[in-house]
Structure 1
Amino acid sequence: MKKRQEAKLDEASVKNFGDYEVIVPKHNLRTYVHKVDGPDDGFGGIDPEAIERAEAALAQLAAEFDGWMEKEVERLVTARDAAAAHGLTAENRTALFSAAHDIKGEATTFGYPLASRAAESLTALLLGIEDAKLLPWPLVSQHVDAIRAIVREEAKGEDHPVALELVEKLVLLSTETLVDVTGVPPLSP
C-alpha cells in the first residue's frame, strides 16, 4: 500500500473546480527536505543543505525577476490605458485590479517592495470605491505611473528616497480619498 501512495506523489494531477483548474505538481517538497537527527540544531529539524539548495535555485531565478516584473507592469499600463480610452467598464476594472493585485503579491519577491505597496494602495482604491464616477482617475493613473517608474528606475528595496516618498504620498492620498468617499479607510494602508 505504501508504494502505491508514493507513486501517487510522483504523478502530477489536475483538479477541476468549475471555472478554474489546480495543477498539483509532480513532486512533493517533503521528498526533498529531510529531518535532521539529533538535538535541536536551530533550523527546526530541517536539513540546512536543503535550504541552501532552495536559496541557490531562487538565486538562479532572480536574474529573470526584472523581466517578469516588466511584463507585469506592461500588463498594468495596458489595463490602465484601456480603461482610460474606453471607460472603467466592469471588464476594464477587473483587468486593472487583477494586474495591480498580481504586482502587489509578486513585487516584493521580485525585489520591488515599494511597487508592491503602491499596487496595494491601488487595489484598495479599486475595491473601496465601487462607483466609477467617484473613483479619482488621476490618482489611479498616478499609482500606475509610480509603479512603472519604480520598476524602470530599478528602485529596489525599501530605502530608495524618491520612490519611498512617492509611495507614502500615494498611500496617504488613497487613504484620505477612501475616507472621504466611503467614510472608512482601507483595511491596510
Structure 2
Amino acid sequence: MAKNSAKDIEVKAFATHHVITQPNPLRKVLRRVEEKDMDDPVARAEQALAGLSGEFKNWMAIEVQRLSAAWAAVQQDGFTKALRDELFHAAHDIKGDAATFGFPSAAGIAESLCRVIEHAPDLSKVPAELFTHHINAILAIVHDNTRLDSISVSAELSRRLRKVADDYLAHVNRDRPEHLEVILAPSIAPAE
C-alpha cells in the first residue's frame, strides 16, 4: 500500500490537544459487488456442514470409543494424571461436538461427567458407577439415536445424571466453598 503523504493527513489543533486524522487506506482497495453477485458465507458454511452430516454419526462413534477406552484404562490402572486428562478431554470433546453432530443429550451428559472429573476432590473415591452410568448413557444415546422416542428418554437421562452428579459433588465439596458455587451453577451445554 502506498504511504500517505503529509498533505493527506489532517491535523485539527485545539487548546489542549491535537487530533490527527489520516485517510482510510482501505477505501482504495474496497471493491463494490452487485447484490446479485454477493457471496453468503453463512449459506456456504451450512451447505458444507450439510455435506458432511453423513459423517457425523461416525465421528461421534469415534469420540465415544475414545471415551470408553479412556475409562477402561482408568479401571485397569487407576487415575493417573495422564489417564485423568484423557478421560476429561474425551468427555470434553463430546460435550463440544455432540450438539453439532446431532446428539444434544450426549452433550449434557458429557458436561456432567466433565464436572465430576474436574470438581471431585479425589477421583479414586468417586463411585465407579457414577462414571459408568455417564459413559453408558453417552454410548446409548449415540448408538440408539435413530428412534423418535429415544430423544425424550435421553433428555430425562441427562437431567437425572446431572442431578446425581451435582448431589455427589455438593456433598464431597461441602468443605470447599469455592467449588460449590461452580457446582451449583446451571448447565452450559445446549438444551434440547
Q: Aligned to 1:118, which of 79, 85, 109? A: 109
Q: Aligned to 2:77, which of 86, 103, 114? A: 86
Q: 1:129 to 1:55 in 2, by over 3 A?
A: same
Asked whether the equivalents of residues 75 and 99 of structure 1 are also in contact (C-alpha less than 8 Å), the reply is: yes
Please give the alpha-carbon distance, in whole angstroms, between the structure 2 residues aligned to 1:174 and 1:36: 54
Asked whether the equivalents of residues 113 and 156 of structure 1 are also in contact (C-alpha less than 8 Å), the reply is: no
Q: 1:121 to 1:156 in 2, by over 3 A?
A: farther
The structure whose RCO (Cα within 8 Å, separation 6+) is larger is 2
- Per the alignment, residue 27 of structure 1 pairs with none
Using structure 2 for the length normalisation, give the TM-score.
0.70
How far is 1:92 from its partner? 1.1
- Per the alignment, residue 16 of structure 1 pairs with none
* SS of structure 2 residue aligned to 1:160: helix
Alignment of 1:34-183 (within 5 A): 49-154=40-145, 160-183=151-174
Deviations 1:53-98 (A, max 9, x none): 2211110011111110000000000001110111122111111001
Aligned-residue CA RMSD in angstroms? 2.6
Please give the alpha-carbon distance, in whole angstroms, between the structure 1 residues aligned to 2:46 and 2:87: 33
Tell me, which stretches of 5 or more residues in structure 2 are unaligned? 3-30, 175-179, 188-192
Please give the alpha-carbon distance, in whole angstroms, between the structure 2 residues aligned to 1:167 and 1:48: 40
Asked whether the equivalents of residues 121 and 173 of structure 2 are also in contact (C-alpha less than 8 Å), the reply is: no
Deviations 1:132-176 (A, max 9, x none): 23322210111011001000002699x812111111110000010
The number of equivalent residue pairs is 150
Deviations 1:13-64 (A, max 9, x none): xxxxxxxxxxxxxxxxxxxxx98889xxxxxxxx573322221111001111
Please give the alpha-carbon distance, in whole angstroms, between the structure 1 residues aligned to 2:32 and 2:157: 46
Deviations 1:107-145 (A, max 9, x none): 111011100000000000000013123322210111011
Please give the alpha-carbon distance, in whole angstroms, between the structure 2 residues aligned to 1:109 and 1:50: 18
